[in-house]
Amino acid sequence: MGNILWLASYPKSGNTWLRAFLLNLVTDLPEPVDINKMAALTQGDSQERWYAPFDPRPMTELSAEDLARLRPIAHARIAESSADTVFVKTHNALVEVAGAAMISQSLTAGVIYVVRNPLDVALSYADHLGQSLDDIITLMGERDFETPATEHNVPEHHSDWSSHVKSWTQIPHPALHVVRYEDMTLKPGPTFAAIARFIGMNPGRERLTRAVRFSSFKILRAQEKKAGFVERPPAQKSFFRSGKSGAWHKQLSNAQVRRVLEMHREQMEQFDYVPKGY
């Protein structure tokens, strides 16, 4: 068994919130940790720095076959970056691409997977990319969707929302902890306490409460407003929005809700996301 603990999710499902909580919980400082210092504890599996030492070409010139060859080497380098558990953020689906696994099982210690109602994901993702809701709903149904390579990141293979969720959650396992975003918002105490226990910690009530408070959207938004956030894309005015659930009720049309349901009903039923009347 390896030492990578994957922090996995489809985009805009609460991964950054989870990372902020873990950072505040582990460091246990008397004030909130700077959101722009998340890399001090959590790595990203698409970052160019893990791949560049093994292939000098720009990330944009690497083929799917090149990446299939390089990915397990890059993952091994991530694992070797610490003698302890390494928290690694990923938006990749748990699939194979070009004949190679996107996630190296032999290096894996465990997985925390965050799932969020795709109706709310669509809203947040549209804001994140600066695209229309209809375009994002279409994108969330594309089975082979992956992000383009950039100067600093290799492509991420997201697949469609249902396939992504199913790939990570369909087989229960003691090393897998599935968290609903909605429970993070409605039941933060027990939800974050369960996350702490899963990573082998049993913090006292005061320490846990402080970590939850320091990673609240109120504080994350305040930090971003004061100093910005390095992970905010150019198209987005603010990375940390409301942090609430259910905004889709007022912002999605009936036709849009039905489109999402047509594509994702099976997995939505698994997590109690199908609205009454639909």
Indicate whether 231 pLDDT > 80: no
In 3-state terms the chain splits into helix, strand, coil percentages (rounded to 5) of 50, 15, 40
Q: Please check whether residue 135 is in contact with residue 124, taking contact to mean a CB–CB distance below 8 angstroms.
A: no
Q: Please check whether residue 190 is in contact with residue 184, taking contact to mean a CB–CB distance below 8 angstroms.
A: no
Task: Report the pLDDT averaged over residues 163-175.
Answer: 96
Q: Please check whether residue 9 is in contact with residue 113, taking contact to mean a CB–CB distance below 8 angstroms.
A: yes
Alpha helices per DSSP H over 181-243: 181-186, 188-198, 205-214, 217-227
Each residue's pLDDT tens digit, 51-104: 999 999 999 999 999 999 999 999 999 999 999 999 999 999 999 999 999 999
Q: Please check whether residue 118 is in contact with residue 268, taking contact to mean a CB–CB distance below 8 angstroms.
A: yes
Residue 101 three-state SS:
strand
Task: Report the pLDDT averaged over residues 212-222.
Answer: 89
- Confidence band of 38 (pLDDT split at 50, 70, 90): confident
Predicted local distance difference test score (pLDDT) of residue 225: 83
> What are the boundaries of each domain within the chain?
4-117+147-231
Domain range 4-117+147-231, its CATH number among 3.40.50.300, 3.50.50.60, 1.10.132.10, 3.90.1150.10: 3.40.50.300
Predicted local distance difference test score (pLDDT) of residue 79: 97
**Window from 26-35, 67-76, 267-276 with minimum mean pLDDT:** 26-35
Closest Cα to residue 62, out of 177, 172, 2, 146? 146
Q: How far apart are the C-alpha atoms of 266 and 270, rounded to whole Å?
A: 7
Mean pLDDT score of the chain: 93
- Confidence band of 163 (pLDDT split at 50, 70, 90): very high
Alpha helices per DSSP H over the chain: 15-27, 64-79, 118-129, 133-139, 161-169, 181-186, 188-198, 205-214, 217-227, 248-251, 254-270
Rounded to two decimals, the pTM is 0.94
